[in-house]
Amino acid sequence: MSASSKLGFKVLISKYLPMALGLRVPGFISIHLRYARHSFITWLVLFVAPFVFALMGLRIFCEAVLKIDPSDLQLYLASFLVIAALFFWAERQRKFRRIYVILIPAIVIFYGGVELFFGGDHPPGNLIKFGIVSALPAWWLWRRASTKGYQLLTDGADKDYRPGQELFARGEYAAAFEYLEPAAKRGHMKALFLIGQAHEQGLGLTQDKIRAAQFYDRAGRKGYPKANRAFEALVDNMSEAEKEALNVAIDATGLKELF
């Protein structure tokens, strides 16, 4: 076995063996755990209605289109994956985040409407049932999802980002970095972006275009479009020597080394 093959085998074992033994959970499960730890009720609000909708949709798709009969466990895991992907996308795209929180009460109203018109009950009983079972829950879900749920998705369910961002906006940079740096070390894309912005503009940190670009690059790799735009604008204004230094720094520096 070659040295490269041995290295690849070690990487494979270190990455997947802990997961197989239950010592490390898959990424799409860890997203849900992160949200549930931060606020269990808000996670339920963001999760339950889309999960049920995804579960039913996947079952219909598998049976009607793929002509297969998946087990309940397979459907549950696939639905968990779908909702995790939606969380991931909602963290990064403001428009989609707004759409997502609107869809949560809309799904409840949709199910209630189906039952209202096709359930077989007659007025006024069906209207009362619709109000109790669908309209009131949808109203409560909208209030929770559009406020705490939207904020949780914006923050990526990170306990340090929101206080750090608020302090940063008020110009209290030293206090802000006490929150932003721990979040950034965990890979929080928006915290990484703000630290990059601080380096670019000299806001409480040494003005350094190379380090600013490194933080923007790291945030962009996490999927933050705003960081990608900031990185491109910054690099466009660099000299050739600075660009060369940046390429060397990016190749040699990981997330831990940034701090």
Range of the domain at 210: 161-258
Q: Tell me the CA end-to-end span of the chain in Å, nearest whole number.
A: 37
Residue 66 lies in a domain: yes
For residue 41, pLDDT beyond 80: yes
Q: What is the rounded CA–CA span in Å between residue 190 and residue 221?
A: 12
Residue 42 lies in a domain: yes
Percent of the chain past pLDDT 70, that is, above it, reads 87
Whole-number average pLDDT of the chain: 87
- In this structure, are 195 and 241 located in the same domain? yes
- In this structure, are 126 and 236 located in the same domain? no
Residue 198 lies in a domain: yes
- In this structure, are 73 and 147 located in the same domain? yes
Q: Does the N-terminal peptide bond of residue 70 adopt cis geometry, omega within 30 degrees of 0?
A: no
- In this structure, are 33 and 116 located in the same domain? yes
Residue 251 belongs to domain with CATH number: 1.25.40
> Do residues 167 and 175 lie in contact, with contact meaning Cβ atoms separated by under 8 Å?
yes
- In this structure, are 49 and 98 located in the same domain? yes
- In this structure, are 239 and 172 located in the same domain? yes
The per-residue pLDDT for range 205-257, each reduced to its tens digit, is: 999 999 999 999 999 998 899 999 999 999 999 999 999 999 888 877 776 77
Count: domains in the chain: 2
- In this structure, are 56 and 116 located in the same domain? yes
- Which of these three, 120, 155, 190, is where a domain ends? 155
pLDDT at site 249 = 87
- In this structure, are 31 and 148 located in the same domain? yes
Least confident of 19-33, 65-79, 199-213: 19-33
pLDDT at site 120 = 65
For residue 80, pLDDT beyond 70: yes
The label of the residue with tokens 């963290």 reads 91
Q: What is the rounded CA–CA span in Å between residue 176 and residue 167?
A: 5
Average pLDDT of span 54-78: 93
How many of the other CB atoms lie within 10 Å of CB of 71? 8
**257 or 64, greater pLDDT:** 64
- Which of these three, 155, 187, 217, is where a domain ends? 155
- In this structure, are 230 and 208 located in the same domain? yes
- Which of these three, 131, 155, 179, is where a domain ends? 155
Average pLDDT of span 156-184: 94
pLDDT at site 121 = 64
Residue 135 lies in a domain: yes
- In this structure, are 166 and 114 located in the same domain? no
Tokens of 158: 């990170």
- Biggest CA–CA distance in the chain, Å, is 77
The per-residue pLDDT for range 179-218, each reduced to its tens digit, is: 999 999 998 999 999 999 999 999 999 999 999 999 999 9
pLDDT at site 20 = 45
